[in-house]
Amino acid sequence: MYGKFKEHIQKEIADIKDAGLYKNERIIVTPQKADIKVSTGNNVLNFCANNYLGLSNHPELVKAAKEALDTHGYGMSSVRFICGTQDLHKKLEAKIADFFGTDDTILYAACFDANGGLFEPLLTAEDAIISDALNHASIIDGVRLCKAQRYRYKNADIEDLEEQLKRAQAQRFRIIVTDGVFSMDGNVAPMDKINELSKKYDALVMIDECHSAGVVGETGRGVTELFNIRGEIDIITGTLGKAFGGAIGGFTTGRKDIIEILRQRSRPYLFSNSIPPMVANAGIRMFDMMSETTELQDKLHWNTDYFYNKMKDVGFDIKTTKSAIVAIMLYDAKLSQDFAAKLLDEGIYVIGFYYPVVPKGQARIRVQLSAGHEKEHLDKAITAFTKVGKELGII
Protein backbone atom coordinates (compact mmCIF):
# COMPACT_ATOMS: atom_id res chain seq x y z
CA MET A 1 0.00 0.00 0.00
CA TYR A 2 2.68 2.52 0.98
CA GLY A 3 4.26 2.48 -2.50
CA LYS A 4 1.30 4.24 -4.14
CA PHE A 5 0.73 6.53 -1.21
CA LYS A 6 4.42 7.42 -1.12
CA GLU A 7 4.28 8.43 -4.78
CA HIS A 8 1.25 10.55 -4.03
CA ILE A 9 2.98 12.32 -1.15
CA GLN A 10 6.18 12.81 -3.11
CA LYS A 11 4.20 14.47 -5.87
CA GLU A 12 2.55 16.79 -3.36
CA ILE A 13 5.97 17.74 -2.02
CA ALA A 14 7.30 18.31 -5.54
CA ASP A 15 4.29 20.54 -6.27
CA ILE A 16 4.99 22.58 -3.15
CA LYS A 17 8.61 23.00 -4.25
CA ASP A 18 7.59 23.90 -7.83
CA ALA A 19 5.26 26.56 -6.50
CA GLY A 20 8.19 27.97 -4.50
CA LEU A 21 6.28 27.41 -1.26
CA TYR A 22 8.52 24.80 0.36
CA LYS A 23 9.41 25.84 3.88
CA ASN A 24 12.98 25.36 4.97
CA GLU A 25 13.96 25.68 8.59
CA ARG A 26 17.03 27.53 9.70
CA ILE A 27 18.75 25.82 12.61
CA ILE A 28 19.69 27.99 15.56
CA VAL A 29 22.47 26.67 17.79
CA THR A 30 22.25 29.31 20.54
CA PRO A 31 19.39 30.31 22.82
CA GLN A 32 16.70 32.42 21.18
CA LYS A 33 17.76 36.06 21.50
CA ALA A 34 18.68 39.17 19.50
CA ASP A 35 22.06 37.91 18.29
CA ILE A 36 21.97 34.25 17.42
CA LYS A 37 24.24 31.75 15.73
CA VAL A 38 22.86 29.44 13.05
CA SER A 39 24.08 25.97 12.10
CA THR A 40 26.04 27.30 9.11
CA GLY A 41 28.26 29.04 11.65
CA ASN A 42 26.95 32.54 10.86
CA ASN A 43 26.11 35.02 13.57
CA VAL A 44 23.00 37.00 12.70
CA LEU A 45 20.76 39.56 14.31
CA ASN A 46 17.33 38.11 14.74
CA PHE A 47 14.40 40.25 13.60
CA CYS A 48 11.89 37.47 12.99
CA ALA A 49 11.14 35.97 16.40
CA ASN A 50 8.02 36.59 18.46
CA ASN A 51 10.39 37.30 21.33
CA TYR A 52 8.88 40.77 21.77
CA LEU A 53 10.04 41.38 25.32
CA GLY A 54 13.35 39.58 24.94
CA LEU A 55 12.31 37.09 27.63
CA SER A 56 13.07 33.83 25.78
CA ASN A 57 16.43 33.65 27.45
CA HIS A 58 15.86 35.88 30.46
CA PRO A 59 17.94 34.80 33.50
CA GLU A 60 15.01 35.29 35.91
CA LEU A 61 12.80 32.94 33.90
CA VAL A 62 15.57 30.37 33.46
CA LYS A 63 16.09 30.52 37.23
CA ALA A 64 12.38 30.10 37.99
CA ALA A 65 12.21 27.16 35.59
CA LYS A 66 15.19 25.47 37.25
CA GLU A 67 13.72 26.00 40.71
CA ALA A 68 10.48 24.36 39.67
CA LEU A 69 12.33 21.34 38.33
CA ASP A 70 13.60 20.80 41.87
CA THR A 71 10.40 21.59 43.74
CA HIS A 72 7.75 20.24 41.33
CA GLY A 73 9.50 17.81 39.01
CA TYR A 74 9.65 17.61 35.25
CA GLY A 75 6.27 16.68 33.82
CA MET A 76 2.63 16.24 34.67
CA SER A 77 1.85 12.97 32.85
CA SER A 78 -1.84 13.71 33.08
CA VAL A 79 -4.69 15.90 31.97
CA ARG A 80 -5.84 18.33 34.62
CA PHE A 81 -9.11 16.73 35.66
CA ILE A 82 -7.56 13.34 36.27
CA CYS A 83 -4.44 14.16 38.26
CA GLY A 84 -2.61 16.95 36.55
CA THR A 85 -3.14 20.16 38.49
CA GLN A 86 -0.42 21.65 40.65
CA ASP A 87 -0.51 24.75 42.79
CA LEU A 88 1.71 26.35 40.14
CA HIS A 89 -0.91 25.98 37.42
CA LYS A 90 -3.63 27.51 39.59
CA LYS A 91 -1.33 30.34 40.60
CA LEU A 92 -0.41 31.06 36.99
CA GLU A 93 -4.08 31.13 35.99
CA ALA A 94 -4.76 33.70 38.69
CA LYS A 95 -1.78 35.82 37.56
CA ILE A 96 -3.04 35.83 33.98
CA ALA A 97 -6.54 36.91 35.06
CA ASP A 98 -4.97 39.64 37.15
CA PHE A 99 -2.85 40.83 34.23
CA PHE A 100 -5.83 41.12 31.89
CA GLY A 101 -8.34 42.28 34.48
CA THR A 102 -10.56 39.23 33.93
CA ASP A 103 -12.36 36.85 36.32
CA ASP A 104 -10.56 33.57 35.70
CA THR A 105 -8.23 31.72 33.32
CA ILE A 106 -7.93 28.23 31.87
CA LEU A 107 -4.53 27.01 30.67
CA TYR A 108 -3.92 24.97 27.54
CA ALA A 109 -0.85 23.37 26.02
CA ALA A 110 -0.85 26.13 23.38
CA CYS A 111 -3.04 28.97 22.17
CA PHE A 112 -3.73 26.82 19.13
CA ASP A 113 -5.56 24.54 21.56
CA ALA A 114 -7.21 27.42 23.42
CA ASN A 115 -8.73 28.64 20.14
CA GLY A 116 -9.39 25.12 18.91
CA GLY A 117 -11.33 24.28 22.05
CA LEU A 118 -13.18 27.56 22.54
CA PHE A 119 -16.20 27.70 20.27
CA GLU A 120 -17.57 24.18 20.17
CA PRO A 121 -18.28 24.01 23.92
CA LEU A 122 -20.00 27.41 23.99
CA LEU A 123 -22.09 27.68 20.83
CA THR A 124 -24.46 25.56 18.78
CA ALA A 125 -26.06 25.68 15.32
CA GLU A 126 -28.51 28.22 16.73
CA ASP A 127 -25.70 30.75 17.26
CA ALA A 128 -23.43 32.91 15.12
CA ILE A 129 -19.67 33.53 14.96
CA ILE A 130 -18.67 36.75 13.23
CA SER A 131 -14.98 36.46 12.41
CA ASP A 132 -12.38 38.82 10.94
CA ALA A 133 -11.15 37.59 7.55
CA LEU A 134 -7.50 37.68 8.69
CA ASN A 135 -7.93 35.79 11.94
CA HIS A 136 -5.28 33.22 12.86
CA ALA A 137 -5.46 29.65 11.53
CA SER A 138 -6.24 28.31 15.00
CA ILE A 139 -9.37 30.48 15.20
CA ILE A 140 -10.43 29.28 11.78
CA ASP A 141 -9.96 25.66 12.88
CA GLY A 142 -11.79 26.29 16.15
CA VAL A 143 -14.71 27.81 14.28
CA ARG A 144 -14.76 24.83 11.92
CA LEU A 145 -15.19 22.47 14.86
CA CYS A 146 -18.31 24.33 15.97
CA LYS A 147 -21.74 24.15 14.35
CA ALA A 148 -22.57 27.84 14.74
CA GLN A 149 -23.43 29.90 11.64
CA ARG A 150 -20.36 31.63 10.27
CA TYR A 151 -20.09 35.22 9.16
CA ARG A 152 -16.87 36.79 7.95
CA TYR A 153 -16.03 40.48 7.78
CA LYS A 154 -13.22 42.23 5.94
CA ASN A 155 -10.10 42.80 8.01
CA ALA A 156 -10.74 45.39 10.73
CA ASP A 157 -13.61 46.78 8.63
CA ILE A 158 -16.23 48.21 10.97
CA GLU A 159 -18.85 48.82 8.28
CA ASP A 160 -18.63 45.27 7.06
CA LEU A 161 -18.72 44.00 10.64
CA GLU A 162 -21.92 45.97 11.24
CA GLU A 163 -23.42 44.48 8.08
CA GLN A 164 -22.62 40.96 9.29
CA LEU A 165 -23.96 41.73 12.76
CA LYS A 166 -27.28 42.76 11.22
CA ARG A 167 -27.47 39.50 9.31
CA ALA A 168 -26.51 37.56 12.43
CA GLN A 169 -29.51 38.89 14.34
CA ALA A 170 -31.21 35.77 12.92
CA GLN A 171 -29.29 33.67 15.44
CA ARG A 172 -29.76 33.22 19.19
CA PHE A 173 -26.33 34.32 20.42
CA ARG A 174 -23.57 36.12 18.53
CA ILE A 175 -19.85 36.42 19.12
CA ILE A 176 -17.43 38.77 17.37
CA VAL A 177 -14.02 37.15 17.03
CA THR A 178 -10.81 39.01 16.23
CA ASP A 179 -7.05 38.96 16.59
CA GLY A 180 -5.84 41.91 18.68
CA VAL A 181 -2.88 42.52 16.38
CA PHE A 182 -2.79 41.01 12.90
CA SER A 183 0.51 39.32 12.32
CA MET A 184 1.20 40.28 8.73
CA ASP A 185 0.45 44.03 8.78
CA GLY A 186 0.94 44.71 12.49
CA ASN A 187 -2.35 46.61 12.52
CA VAL A 188 -4.52 46.60 15.62
CA ALA A 189 -8.19 45.61 15.61
CA PRO A 190 -10.36 48.71 16.21
CA MET A 191 -11.52 47.41 19.57
CA ASP A 192 -13.25 50.60 20.69
CA LYS A 193 -15.61 50.46 17.73
CA ILE A 194 -15.96 46.68 17.88
CA ASN A 195 -16.90 46.99 21.54
CA GLU A 196 -19.53 49.62 20.72
CA LEU A 197 -21.02 47.48 17.96
CA SER A 198 -21.12 44.46 20.26
CA LYS A 199 -23.38 46.42 22.59
CA LYS A 200 -25.57 47.76 19.80
CA TYR A 201 -26.05 44.31 18.24
CA ASP A 202 -26.03 42.23 21.39
CA ALA A 203 -22.90 40.24 20.68
CA LEU A 204 -20.18 38.74 22.85
CA VAL A 205 -16.56 39.64 22.00
CA MET A 206 -13.50 37.42 21.84
CA ILE A 207 -9.97 38.73 21.24
CA ASP A 208 -6.90 36.65 20.47
CA GLU A 209 -4.07 38.62 22.08
CA CYS A 210 -1.17 36.43 20.93
CA HIS A 211 0.67 39.27 19.15
CA SER A 212 -0.66 42.07 21.35
CA ALA A 213 -0.37 40.84 24.95
CA GLY A 214 2.76 42.11 26.63
CA VAL A 215 3.33 44.42 23.69
CA VAL A 216 0.44 46.78 23.07
CA GLY A 217 -0.72 49.40 25.55
CA GLU A 218 1.44 51.49 27.81
CA THR A 219 2.02 48.68 30.31
CA GLY A 220 1.65 45.86 27.78
CA ARG A 221 -1.81 44.81 28.97
CA GLY A 222 -2.87 44.40 25.35
CA VAL A 223 -5.54 45.93 23.18
CA THR A 224 -8.01 46.34 26.06
CA GLU A 225 -5.49 48.72 27.63
CA LEU A 226 -4.83 50.50 24.35
CA PHE A 227 -8.53 51.19 23.85
CA ASN A 228 -9.35 51.68 27.50
CA ILE A 229 -11.87 48.83 27.59
CA ARG A 230 -10.23 46.72 30.26
CA GLY A 231 -12.71 44.37 31.89
CA GLU A 232 -15.30 44.79 29.14
CA ILE A 233 -14.28 41.91 26.86
CA ASP A 234 -15.91 38.53 27.45
CA ILE A 235 -13.12 36.25 26.25
CA ILE A 236 -9.39 36.78 25.64
CA THR A 237 -7.07 34.07 24.39
CA GLY A 238 -3.31 34.28 24.37
CA THR A 239 -0.02 32.44 24.35
CA LEU A 240 2.96 32.00 26.65
CA GLY A 241 4.91 31.23 23.47
CA LYS A 242 5.51 34.77 22.21
CA ALA A 243 6.14 37.88 24.34
CA PHE A 244 5.60 36.00 27.61
CA GLY A 245 8.82 33.97 27.59
CA GLY A 246 8.34 32.00 24.42
CA ALA A 247 8.33 28.50 25.89
CA ILE A 248 4.93 26.88 25.41
CA GLY A 249 1.39 27.24 26.69
CA GLY A 250 -1.83 29.01 25.90
CA PHE A 251 -4.79 30.33 27.81
CA THR A 252 -8.33 31.57 27.68
CA THR A 253 -9.18 34.24 30.21
CA GLY A 254 -12.48 36.01 30.74
CA ARG A 255 -15.89 35.74 32.37
CA LYS A 256 -16.03 33.32 35.29
CA ASP A 257 -18.85 31.13 33.99
CA ILE A 258 -17.36 30.86 30.53
CA ILE A 259 -14.06 29.62 31.98
CA GLU A 260 -16.00 27.23 34.23
CA ILE A 261 -17.84 25.61 31.34
CA LEU A 262 -14.63 25.37 29.30
CA ARG A 263 -13.09 23.34 32.14
CA GLN A 264 -16.04 20.96 31.81
CA ARG A 265 -16.27 20.73 28.04
CA SER A 266 -13.25 22.05 26.14
CA ARG A 267 -11.70 19.06 24.46
CA PRO A 268 -8.03 20.16 24.17
CA TYR A 269 -8.18 20.86 27.92
CA LEU A 270 -9.95 17.63 28.85
CA PHE A 271 -7.90 15.32 26.67
CA SER A 272 -4.41 16.78 26.56
CA ASN A 273 -1.54 17.20 29.01
CA SER A 274 -0.88 20.24 31.18
CA ILE A 275 2.13 22.46 30.70
CA PRO A 276 5.22 21.39 32.65
CA PRO A 277 5.75 22.89 36.13
CA MET A 278 8.91 24.72 35.08
CA VAL A 279 6.94 26.58 32.41
CA ALA A 280 4.19 27.40 34.89
CA ASN A 281 6.68 28.69 37.44
CA ALA A 282 8.58 30.78 34.89
CA GLY A 283 5.20 32.15 33.81
CA ILE A 284 4.39 33.18 37.36
CA ARG A 285 7.76 34.93 37.68
CA MET A 286 7.20 36.58 34.31
CA PHE A 287 3.81 38.04 35.28
CA ASP A 288 5.35 39.25 38.57
CA MET A 289 8.02 41.04 36.54
CA MET A 290 5.28 42.60 34.40
CA SER A 291 3.70 44.15 37.47
CA GLU A 292 7.01 45.32 38.96
CA THR A 293 8.15 47.43 36.01
CA THR A 294 7.25 48.51 32.48
CA GLU A 295 10.93 48.71 31.53
CA LEU A 296 10.62 46.07 28.82
CA GLN A 297 7.51 47.64 27.28
CA ASP A 298 9.16 51.05 27.35
CA LYS A 299 12.21 49.69 25.56
CA LEU A 300 10.15 47.78 23.02
CA HIS A 301 8.04 50.82 22.22
CA TRP A 302 11.15 52.98 21.92
CA ASN A 303 12.81 50.40 19.66
CA THR A 304 9.74 50.13 17.43
CA ASP A 305 9.34 53.89 17.05
CA TYR A 306 13.04 54.35 16.37
CA PHE A 307 13.20 51.61 13.74
CA TYR A 308 9.93 52.64 12.08
CA ASN A 309 10.85 56.32 11.85
CA LYS A 310 14.41 55.74 10.63
CA MET A 311 13.23 53.31 7.97
CA LYS A 312 10.58 55.79 6.82
CA ASP A 313 13.20 58.54 6.69
CA VAL A 314 15.39 56.36 4.50
CA GLY A 315 12.47 56.07 2.11
CA PHE A 316 10.93 52.63 2.67
CA ASP A 317 7.24 52.06 2.16
CA ILE A 318 6.01 50.84 5.55
CA LYS A 319 2.57 49.94 6.86
CA THR A 320 1.37 52.00 9.80
CA THR A 321 1.82 49.94 12.93
CA LYS A 322 0.74 50.09 16.55
CA SER A 323 2.44 46.83 17.42
CA ALA A 324 6.01 45.50 17.35
CA ILE A 325 5.48 44.25 13.79
CA VAL A 326 6.80 46.45 10.99
CA ALA A 327 5.84 45.44 7.44
CA ILE A 328 8.25 46.79 4.84
CA MET A 329 6.34 46.66 1.59
CA LEU A 330 8.09 45.39 -1.54
CA TYR A 331 4.97 44.09 -3.35
CA ASP A 332 6.92 41.67 -5.58
CA ALA A 333 7.30 38.07 -4.33
CA LYS A 334 10.72 37.38 -5.83
CA LEU A 335 12.03 40.73 -4.70
CA SER A 336 10.98 39.94 -1.12
CA GLN A 337 12.98 36.70 -1.24
CA ASP A 338 16.05 38.32 -2.85
CA PHE A 339 15.90 41.14 -0.34
CA ALA A 340 15.75 38.77 2.64
CA ALA A 341 18.62 36.65 1.23
CA LYS A 342 20.83 39.73 0.80
CA LEU A 343 19.99 40.91 4.30
CA LEU A 344 21.06 37.54 5.65
CA ASP A 345 24.43 38.04 3.94
CA GLU A 346 24.60 41.31 5.86
CA GLY A 347 23.90 39.44 9.10
CA ILE A 348 20.24 40.44 9.41
CA TYR A 349 17.74 37.64 9.75
CA VAL A 350 14.26 38.55 8.50
CA ILE A 351 11.60 36.76 6.49
CA GLY A 352 10.04 37.84 3.21
CA PHE A 353 6.35 36.94 2.98
CA TYR A 354 4.36 36.60 -0.21
CA TYR A 355 1.20 35.00 -1.57
CA PRO A 356 -0.57 32.97 -0.21
CA VAL A 357 0.58 34.12 3.25
CA VAL A 358 -0.27 37.71 2.24
CA PRO A 359 -2.52 38.81 -0.66
CA LYS A 360 -1.13 38.65 -4.22
CA GLY A 361 1.05 41.66 -5.04
CA GLN A 362 1.50 42.47 -1.34
CA ALA A 363 4.88 40.82 -0.73
CA ARG A 364 6.86 42.29 2.10
CA ILE A 365 9.55 41.83 4.68
CA ARG A 366 8.20 41.56 8.17
CA VAL A 367 10.42 42.90 10.92
CA GLN A 368 9.62 42.03 14.51
CA LEU A 369 11.12 44.31 17.11
CA SER A 370 12.08 43.18 20.57
CA ALA A 371 13.05 44.67 23.90
CA GLY A 372 16.04 42.36 23.49
CA HIS A 373 17.37 44.57 20.68
CA GLU A 374 19.93 47.22 21.56
CA LYS A 375 20.17 50.46 19.63
CA GLU A 376 23.28 49.22 17.83
CA HIS A 377 21.32 46.18 16.61
CA LEU A 378 18.67 48.48 15.17
CA ASP A 379 21.27 50.71 13.56
CA LYS A 380 22.97 47.72 12.00
CA ALA A 381 19.64 46.55 10.57
CA ILE A 382 18.77 50.00 9.23
CA THR A 383 22.19 50.29 7.58
CA ALA A 384 21.81 46.85 5.98
CA PHE A 385 18.27 47.59 4.79
CA THR A 386 19.48 50.86 3.29
CA LYS A 387 22.40 49.19 1.50
CA VAL A 388 20.28 46.37 0.07
CA GLY A 389 17.42 48.75 -0.72
CA LYS A 390 19.77 50.86 -2.83
CA GLU A 391 21.32 47.81 -4.51
CA LEU A 392 17.90 46.55 -5.51
CA GLY A 393 16.64 49.98 -6.54
CA ILE A 394 13.89 50.20 -3.91
CA ILE A 395 14.99 53.48 -2.35
Window 129-168: contact mask with ligand PLP (x via CB under 6 A): -------x-x------------------------------
Q: Is 183 a catalytic residue?
A: yes
Q: Is 373 a catalytic residue?
A: no
CA angle 151, 160, 111 (to 5 degrees): 50
> Rule CB under 6 A: which of 239-278 touch ligand PLP?
239, 241, 250
CB under 6 A: which stretch of 23-31, 207-215, 226-234, 300-308 binds ligand PLP? 207-215
110 binds ligand PLP (CB under 6 A): yes
Whichever of 59 and 356 has its CB closer to ligand PLP, that residue is 356
Q: Exactly one of 56, 131, 138, 183 is catalytic; name it.
A: 183
Q: How far is the CB of 180 from ligand PLP (least distance, A)?
A: 8
Cα–Cα distance, 320 to 333 (Å, whole number): 21
* Per-residue b or e along 327-359, where b marks 16 or more CB atoms closer than 10 Å to that residue's CB: bbbbebbebbbbbbebbbebebbbbbbbeeebe
Q: Quick one: 220 exposed, middle or buried, by C-beta within 10 A (0-12, 13-18, 19+)? A: buried
Whether omega before 59 lies within 30 degrees of 0, making that bond cis, reads no
Query: How many residues form the binding site for ligand PLP (CB under 6 A)?
Result: 14
Interface residue with ligand PLP, options 80, 152, 211, 301 (CB under 6 A): 211
Q: Is 91 a catalytic residue?
A: no
**Count of residues making up the chain:** 395
> Rule CB under 6 A: which of 213-242 touch ligand PLP?
239, 241
How do 325-331 and 351-353 pair as beta strands?
Answer: unpaired
Interface residue with ligand PLP, options 55, 68, 88, 111 (CB under 6 A): 111
Q: How is residue 81 annotated by DSSP?
A: I
Cα four-point dihedral sign 232, 233, 234, 239: negative
Whichever of 215 and 335 has its CB closer to ligand PLP, that residue is 215
The residues facing 352 across adjacent strands are 365
CB under 6 A: which stretch of 4-12, 15-23, 104-112, 227-235 binds ligand PLP? 104-112
Interface residue with ligand PLP, options 104, 127, 132, 208 (CB under 6 A): 208
**Cβ–Cβ < 8 Å for 233, 195:** yes
- Give the interface with ligand PLP as residue ranges (CB under 6 A): 110-112, 115, 136, 138, 179, 183, 208, 210-211, 239, 241, 250
Please identify every residue annotated as catalytic.
Answer: 183, 211, 242
